[in-house]
Amino acid sequence: MVKMLRCIVVLTALVVSAHGLDNGLALTPPMGWMSWERFRCNIDCKNQPNDCIGEKLFMDMADRMVEDGFKDAGYEYVNIDDCWDLKERDSAGKLQADPDRFPSGIKKLADYVHSRGLKLGIYNDFGTKTCGGYPGSLGHLEVDAKTFAEWGVDMLKMDGCYADVKTMPQGYSNMTKALNATGRPILFSCSWPDYERASKIQPDYKLIAKNCNIWRNYIDIQDSWDSVLKIIDYYAQEQDTLAAVSAPGSFNDPDMLIIGDFSLSVEQAKAQMAMWSILAAPMLMSNDLRTISPEFREILLNKEVIKINQDPSGKMGKRVMQETGIEVWSKSTADNKLAIVFLSRRTDGIPTNYSIILQDAGATSDGTYEFVDLFTWKSLGKFGKRDTMEVAINPNGVRMLLGTPAKTAA
């Protein structure tokens, strides 16, 4: 009897762990803000006090997230990326924030962020140095995990520069244990599979999903539409592998949202928003929320699009069609709705009229679906799975539709 019980417990644990890291976090894709893409390793707080990696930047962003509606829309994490610390550990071997740029210290910054109802993320590196040349965590995993927990940190992104890629599966798993051992729930973001891919090693995604809440699997996003499209290409190419491990607690991370930065037009920004939504990607903005234009803020705050991203199924959408510069991506939600993204890579000036039979876009219900456009909130009417839908898609743009099955008589 006792043995039987243990057996059930073990089985349950296995079932849970197969659905992701068992720390109760990231049951839906994490949402928030992260410094890297927009502010990089700018440590010149003397000349650029508003734009440097220092406590003011993160407090400013926390304020904007609360006061401009981002928190209400679900954005929660305020994440410090690389270049936050001194180049040496202290005498006790601990990482220490640069006191000129973080005069109050990370703990006080965490307190501030918590006081605003948000969570704080931080960054380290699995190797001897971070990508920006700051102290790495190799040989210091436990002390760093403890330090982050003591400071009240809620999320950790562990990068993989200056490291032996072959040691990552074991090493990142050790960090998972070290984080769990602190007793503080810390969402764990791993760069491990990205470094494996770059070294032509096939990532063991089951192991990764067991140890990480989210993980990067492809190159860093840059401020360009080409970069967004390249990432989408990779996700399409690897979609069977990646979709298989997307679940509550464990998500593929195609990198930050660059909406509101220098490169994306409004159409392209809608496209990134829709694609990251249907991919069940972490929604980590990297932009300047103090100066973002209203049209980009509106895109980031689109509650219907966010709802698809935050669908409790945790499923990653897949590309079901690709022709003449138009792609169709599709995802079923936990409540059997059907989300469809029509993405146009075309550059030929006028909207493309594209037709699809709905079952080719993932419709399975024998009844009808009522379709709504998630950017215009207009109804497109009712369609059965064998019906053809025609949509006009702007070049460099998307249409994102949600189909709700009609209620059938009980």
Q: Report, as residue numbers or ranges, the catalytic residues.
A: 159, 220
Decide if residue 389 touches its own copies (CB under 8 A).
no
Closest to its own copies by CB, 163 vs 393, is 393
- In angstroms, what is the minimal distance from the CB of 347 to its own copies? 4
- In angstroms, what is the minimal distance from the CB of 293 to its own copies? 8
Footprint of its own copies on residues 169-228 (CB under 8 A)? 222-227
What's the CA gap between 250 and 27, in Å, rounded?
8
State the CB neighbour count (10 A cutoff) for residue 263.
14
Q: Tell me the helices (H) and strands (E) count for the chain, helix number first.
A: 14, 16
Closest to its own copies by CB, 96 vs 287, is 287
- The SS3 call for residue 3 is helix
- CA 340 from chain center: how many Å? 19
- In angstroms, what is the minimal distance from the CB of 288 to its own copies? 10
User: Which residue has tokens 């965490």?
Assistant: 110
One of 135, 254, 397, 403 touching its own copies (CB under 8 A): 397
- Specify the amino acid at residue 209: A
Footprint of its own copies on residues 248-277 (CB under 8 A)? 261-268
Decide if residue 58 touches its own copies (CB under 8 A).
no
Helix ranges (DSSP H) in 19-89: 36-39, 55-67, 70-73
- In angstroms, what is the minimal distance from the CB of 354 to its own copies? 15
How many CA atoms within 13 Å lie on the side-chain side of 381?
7
CB proximity list for 93: less than 8 A, separation 6 or greater: 140, 143
Torsion over CA of 110, 113, 115 and 116, rounded to 10 degrees?
Answer: -170
- Give the range of 39-47, 85-93, 94-102, 299-307 binding its own copies by CB under 8 A: 39-47
Decide if residue 313 touches its own copies (CB under 8 A).
no
One of 46, 202, 349, 408 touching its own copies (CB under 8 A): 349
One of 20, 34, 38, 340 touching its own copies (CB under 8 A): 38
- The SS3 call for residue 272 is helix
Phi, psi of 133 (to 5 degrees): 95, 15
Q: Which residues pair with 332 in a beta bridge?
A: 338
- Give the range of 133-141, 197-205, 272-280, 391-399 binding its own copies by CB under 8 A: 391-399
CB proximity list for 146: less than 8 A, separation 6 or greater: 178, 182
Closest to its own copies by CB, 262 vs 377, is 262
What's the CA gap between 326 and 303, in Å, rounded?
25
Task: Map residues 125-164 to x or -, x wherever contact with its own copies holds by CB under 8 A.
Answer: ----------------------------------------
* Site size for its own copies (CB under 8 A): 32
Closest to its own copies by CB, 260 vs 317, is 260
Nearest Cα to Cα of residue 55 among 31, 87, 78, 32: 78
Closest to its own copies by CB, 170 vs 347, is 347
User: Which residue has tokens 């244990």?
Assistant: 177
Closest to its own copies by CB, 1 vs 350, is 350
Site of interaction with its own copies (CB under 8 A) = 36-40, 42, 51, 222-227, 261-268, 286, 293, 295, 347-350, 394-397
